[in-house]
Structure 1
Amino acid sequence: MRQSKTLNTLAVAIALALTAGAAQAENGFKVGDTTVTYGGFVKLDMMYNETDGEIAGVGRDFYVPALTPIGGKSTSRFDAHARQSRFFFGTATDLGNGEKMVGRLEFDMMTSSNGNDERTTNGYSPVIRHAFVTYKNWTVGQTWSNFMDLQSLPDTLDFVGNADAAIFIRQAQVRYTNGNFSIAVENPESTVGRFGSGSRITTDDNATPDLTFGYNFKTQNASFRLGGLLRQIAIDGTYDGVAYDDSITSYGVSLSGKFNFANKNDIRFTLNHGKGLGRYVGLNTFNGAVLTSATSAAELEAIDATSFSVAYRHLWNDQWRSTFLYSMLSASNDVSLTGAGVTKSTHSYSANALYQFNPKFMMGIEYKFANREVESGLDGDMHRIQFSAKYDF
């Protein structure tokens, strides 16, 4: 009898603790002077692809313009994964003087190369998306590039959506923001094309950080962002037995925005152009520069690139919505240096239908067509049907 009473008392205590814990979890929990929050989502992606040859690597998990195959036999493939699922920890520390320091640590499995055993476990290791702290006007750590505009990304099932046109990059940086203006120094990296072959050298030889600028401005029904990039493309090392040593300055400009309509529909766009944009656009479809010879006297010549996308999102009712998207990317290659096998242009379009069961759960289907053309004139197509289900927590 006494044991039963003790168990009942313990059960009530546990129930009360769980109730209190659940209430506290909604607003985070305290660790000393720091409030910690937790969130993320679980997402299932299923894709059926028809291509002119095999898609390589992560191109089977999400759309990567450079990986649309060319010249192979007609190929059909089905893939399913939950790699885009992610989780994050947010922190807000009270400094005791009315100020707060805010941090974020976020992971997903989308680009993880550790695991990939689809025979049994389908295990993938988490990889860092964001790891930064913000204090007053300063942001320090890894997050989206200051050259990028999140609001212009379309509402798609594909991981990026407008991958041809998007400035899409996360990297370590120190950023200063004052009102609508921001400036940052960011981690540099150079991708250089070998002379005549079209293959790539990722050099990591930069001596200066990338410099990015951003300015946001609004009208009554629209918001815009003007971005700028100034950076060094460098090579200083021995590759394939040849010692190279050269660097050039490259730049990029970006105008993007979002038009909002009274019925909650919107149009999102981005327009980017630059000399040596390279890895900053199209998920590094193009190199930043190409070597002018295969000798130690070689110099770097920057590659011009232009990209554009526009997406219209339409809300059919409170639960159904669709996005119609067009995206393109083109380069001005000097074929005498790059060879005729490098990518000349890519474009894609897509349409989807998404059903929001409740604020936390969505399911949808999306069709995407993509095309890639190389300088020789050969091209290849991709047709993809994607089904996704997403639970936000």
Structure 2
Amino acid sequence: MMTKTKTAGAIALSLGLGLASAASHAATIGDTTVKFSGYIKADAIASNYSDGTLPTKNIGRDFYVPSLTPVGGVDEGTQFDSHIRQSRFRFTTTTPTEEGDTIIGVLEFDMMVTPAGDDRISNSFTPRIRHAFVKYKNWTVGQTWSTFMDVRVLPETLDFIGTTDGTIFDRQPLVRYQSGAWEFALENPETTVTPGPNGGRIIADDNPLPDAVVRYTHSADWGHFAVAAQARQLSYDDGAAIDSTEAAYGISLTSKIKLGKHNDIRIAFNTGSGLGRYIALNAANGAVVNLDTNEIEAIDSMGYSIAYRHVWNKKMRSNFTYSAFDADIDTNLLSAASTETTYSVRANLIYQPTAKISVGGEYAFAKRELANGNDGDMNRLQVSLKYAF
């Protein structure tokens, strides 16, 4: 077996994995090239909340989740956390066919959003699958980024996502066909439902039809512009009084505009009826049960974000972001304690002493407001070291 080292930039970019800058290490086994790449990332996070605190193991302590900013509690002082859970590793296989085509397979893991592990002794965490898909000719089959999501407008932030409030963010099983600038996909469905004014969340798992997505991307020397449309059916059957469906839709407009050779602006605007889990990490559910009719009704929501990337010199760069989310909360159907709006701003400075290591600091401010007018905010300072391989 012959081993060799190559860069993964071209393949990672074509697959939309957002890791085009990482190096990879390849081994040829028969006709198949197997590449291994990823990064190790250590994060230290200090968070202060105006109206409460987040308990141990809460996901909002690892990265920013808009709907988890505490409201209505008592400030308990600053919380400090450190973890390596964002570290990830990816295997990419490339196999030529007799017809002159190429089969690409991807399997990628990290340790985020898994229940195992604590801070007492070992800090052990369970790996989870991020991507697992096959790409052949114009087809992509498996689990990867939703076609409704534009990975290229995600900014470089130390936080796991960054512009979380206004961003479409979803990975799921899908079948996608691409023809030039057009993409068409059928994707895994799921409906999140609020069961009336008492709040809560039901993950219905009652969908009979996949979510349908179409995307068009115009690419040019100045950057790109994309528009995506989604149509899906929200469905909830409790096996008793409620057996209801509701049509839902979403529109996403995104663009990355180059400013000179290194700097850029990244813009996103997303809106729809029943967006639910697709936006702001499910800050609002897709539907609510109208207890007068025992029917579900879609919840309207929208979000937007803007990010500016500035390269100071060969070793230093910064990113400045603003992101916001708004849900149409009908207090006749939903609790007045439902999340109505959130927004966050952040700024960072990233220093790269050598090609594969980056060290950075990031400040973030976030605010969450409920339908009853109560609000709370978060101040967070994060420091990270990342080694890409």
TM tier, shorter chain? over 0.9
Superposition CA RMSD, Å: 1.5
Aligned to 2:164: 163
Q: How far is 1:173 from its partner? A: 0.3
- The match for 1:290 is 288
Matched to 1:337, the amino acid is: L
Residue 301 of structure 2 is matched in structure 1 by 305
* 1:279 alignment partner, SS class: helix
Match of 2:253 in 1: 255
Maintained 8 Å contact 1:192/1:287: yes
Question: Hey, what does 1:46 align to over in structure 2?
Answer: 44
Cα deviation for residue 357 of structure 1 reads 1.1
Q: Distance in 2 between matches of 1:23 and 1:106?
A: 19
Query: Residues 38 and 87 of structure 1 are in contact (CA less than 8 Å); yes or no, is this contact kept in structure 2?
Result: yes
Partner of 2:96: 94
SS at match of 1:337: coil
User: In 1, Cα distance between the equivalents of 2:262 and 2:96?
Assistant: 37
Higher mean alpha-carbon deviation, 24-33 vs 257-266, is at 24-33
Off by >6 Å, runs of 4+ in structure 1: none
Match of 1:3 in 2: none
Query: How far apart, in 2, do the equivalents of 1:382 and 1:116 lie?
Result: 25
Offset at 1:169? Answer: 0.3
The one of 353, 360, 363 equivalent to 2:356 is: 360
Question: For residue 367 of structure 1, what is the amino acid of its counterpart?
Answer: Y
* Long gaps (5+) in structure 2: 8-23
Q: Secondary structure at the match of 1:243?
A: coil
Name the amino acid aligned to 1:382.
M
Deviations 1:1-57 (A, max 9, x none): xxxxxxxxxxxxxxxx9xx74658966112222110000000001000001211251
Question: Which of 336, 340, 350 is equivalent to 2:332?
Answer: 336
1:376 paired with 2:369, answer no
Instruction: State how 1:16-31 maps to structure 2 within 5 Å.
Output: 21=3, 28-31=26-29
| Structure 2 equivalent of residue 9 of structure 1 | none
Q: Name the structure 2 match of 1:110.
A: 112
**Other-structure match for 1:389:** 385
Q: Which residue of 2 aligns with 1:345?
A: 341
The letter of the residue matching 2:54 is: I
Partner-residue secondary structure (3-state), 1:367: strand
1:264-275 to 2 correspondence within 5 Å?
264-275=262-273
Shift of 1:220: 3.2
- Report the TM-score when normalising by structure 2: 0.92
- Between the aligned partners of 2:35 and 2:353, the Cα distance in structure 1 is 25
Aligned to 2:63: 62
8 Å contact kept, 2:359–2:385: yes
Shift of 1:100: 1.2
Alignment of 1:120-159 (within 5 A): 120-159=121-160
Deviations 1:211-252 (A, max 9, x none): 0111100243121111111001100124xxx53100011000
Amino acid across the alignment from 2:95: T
Note the 1:76-91 alignment, pairs <5 A.
76-91=78-93
Residues 227, 158 of structure 1: CA spacing in aligned structure 2 closer, same or farther, 3 A cutoff?
A: same
Shift of 1:155: 1.1
Distance in 1 (alpha carbons) for counterparts of 2:40 and 2:5: 22
Structure 1 unaligned residues grouped into runs of 5+: 1-16
Give the conservation status (yes or no) of the 8 Å contact 1:205–1:237.
Answer: no
Determine the C-alpha separation between the residues in 2 that align with 1:223 and 1:22.
Answer: 34
Rg comparison, structure with higher value: 1
- Which range moves more in the overlay, 214-223 or 38-47? 214-223
Determine the structure 1 residue equivalent to 2:18.
Answer: none
**Deviations along 1:91-118, whole A, 9 cap, x unmatched?**
01122221111010000001111x2221
What amino acid is aligned across from residue 267 of structure 2 in structure 1? F
> How many residues align structurally?
369
Question: Any idea what the Cα deviations from partners look like across 1:98-156, whole Å, max 9, x if unmatched?
Answer: 1111010000001111x222111111111000000000000000000000001110111
State the Cα deviation string for residues 356-382 of structure 1 (Å, max 9, x = none): 111200000000000000001000000
Match of 1:319 among 305, 309, 315: 315
Under a length normalisation based on structure 1, what TM-score does the superposition of the two structures give?
Answer: 0.91
Q: Which amino acid aligns with 1:54?
A: T
Q: Which protein has the bigger helix share? A: 1
Deviation string, structure 1 residues 46-101 (Cα, Å, up to 9, x no partner): 00000121125110000000100011111310000000000010001122221111
